[in-house]
Structures are given as structure tokens and as C-alpha cells.
Structure 1
Amino acid sequence: MKSKQFERSGPLSLSLRKADTKHQRIDLNLIVDDIQLSKKSVNLYEPIWIHRADDPQPVQIVINKIEKDHVRGYVSAPKYRQSELSNVSYLQPPANATPSVAQPRTQPEDQQPNSSPATQPPGQ
């Protein structure tokens, strides 16, 4: 919704400043890590990548519908922070478990694939 008020969406705050339905472009302001940014002439489906200071993975904003004074889209942010992922303990197989290895099947050397003795011409 077009407004001077910022709307919180995930790890950032957004404010729509202008929506151009004819050319399918928008102008918006963002607040990321207490810093205000302005992004002008963003096209429909154009990804906006935001790199935050506390996260090594970027946040992505995509607008997929532009109406008069209103836009729709999504914010794609990592679910977990890097520090949360490093604390995950990985499951180890039990010490007495033996790995099972499947052996590939092979055909006997005298038999060709997709051929049988009945379909071969006589004399061969």
C-alpha cells in the first residue's frame, strides 16, 4: 500500500513511494539494519538483493503484481542464521552398523542385450 509509513516484512521494512502500472515499475524505500535506502524504477519480477551485516546470505525482494498504489510480492530470507546452523549436531551411524553396498547386475558375456537366439538370422 502506498504510504509514508514503513511496513515490516521479514528482516526489513518497506514503504511504497510510487507505482507505475503502465510501465510496470515501482519506487520504494527500505530500512535495512537501521539504514534507510531508496530503490527507484524497480521492474516487475526484478529481484532486489539486500546483503545484511549480520547474515552472510542475502535477502531477496521480488514484486510480482503492481496495481495503483498497491503492490504484491515476497521477501525471501534464510530461515536460519549461520550461527544457528553451526550448533546443529549431525547424526552418526552406530559403530556396529555395516554399510550395505549394492552390486550392479551384469549380463553374461555370451548374451547381447536386446537380442535372443530366436531373432538372429540362420547361419550366424
Structure 2
Amino acid sequence: MTSKNKSQSTDEMVSVERLIGRILQIGVFTSAIILALGLLLFLMNQTTGYPAGTHPKTLLAILQGAIAFKPYAIMMLGLFCLILTPVLRVVVSIYAFYKEEDHLYVVITVLVLIILLISFIIGYLGF
């Protein structure tokens, strides 16, 4: 690898690391804003927007509830965004390791992503 290629690769990795940092910052900030909005609506209305003992269980139901300004759905949307943030970080890391041609870390990171997705499915199905 020539000096120019190393420099270009290093510059690209620095930009990917910055992108990962921005994803984490934006994800956490966005989640906090959404959660705060849901909490504020709850405190103003003194209701979750759903009958006692019920809540949205699917992403579609959460989105529909958030569009209808139901406080509980908005708070769940904020939590969903917070959970999605590290998943996006893993996806970007797969890309970064692929660009570095670090195949071992690509495989490891893909396995981490698969484990995350399986855990979401298990949680959704309620095992």
C-alpha cells in the first residue's frame, strides 16, 4: 500500500469514526427530545392516551399513537429511537471494517448485529 493510499484510508476511517460519533449524538439527543415531549404531554393531560392496562405493542401501533399525540406512544417512540441508535452504530461499523478490509471484524460485527436482531425478535415474541 502506498503512502497516498494509507493517507486516504486513514482520512476515510477518521470520517467514518466521526460519522459514528454523530450517529450516537444525534440518536441520543433525538431520543431525549421525543421522550421529553411524551413526558410533557403526559404531565399536561394526566393520561397515557390508552385505556388502563393497554399499550401499543407493534411499531405501527406506536407510530399511529405518536401521530395521534398519545403520550405513552410518544415515549415508546423515544425509547425505540434510543434502542435503534447503537444498532445503527453496529451497521456503520460493519461498513468501516469492510472498507479497512478487516474481514475478521466484519464477521464479528455481523454476528453482533445478528444477535441484536434475534434479541429484538425474542423480545417482540415474548419468549
Which TM bucket (shorter chain)?
Answer: under 0.3
Hey, which of these two has a bigger chunk of helix by percent? Answer: 2
Please tell me whether Structure 1 or Structure 2 has the larger radius of gyration of its CA atoms. 1
TM-score when normalising by structure 2: 0.24
Greater relative CO (CA pairs within 8 A, separation 6+): 2
TM-score when normalising by structure 1: 0.24
